[in-house]
Amino acid sequence: MALFVKTYETEMSDKTFVSRLSQADPDEINRRGRADFSTSSVALRYARVILEKYNGQRGGRKLPYRFNG
């Protein structure tokens, strides 16, 4: 989660971040992050899943992909 927050901290508010991710299932984020072997960076695996969950919620603007990898 730290990589996600560090990457997008200027583009989103804390309130929006909390409200969108509170609707996501933490077990699914954990499971999908562990199952992704497309990169050796563990932080990037989870950041990708969190970005997908964040953008998957209705309303508000979507965040672009800004990770290096």
Which residue is listed with tokens 């929006």? 16
CA atoms of 1 and 15, how far apart (whole Å): 16
The rounded distance, in Å, linking the Cα atoms of 26 and 39 is: 21
How buried is 51 (Cβ within 10 angstroms: 0-12 exposed, 13-18 middle, 19+ buried)? buried
pTM flag (> 0.85): yes
Question: What integer pLDDT is reported at residue 58 of this predicted model?
Answer: 85
- pLDDT 10s digits, 13-58: 999 899 999 999 999 999 999 999 999 999 999 999 999 999 998 8
Q: What pLDDT, on a 0 to 100 scale, did the predictor assign at position 68?
A: 84
Res 5 pLDDT > 90: yes
DSSP structure class, residue 60: S
Token pair for residue 37? 């072997």
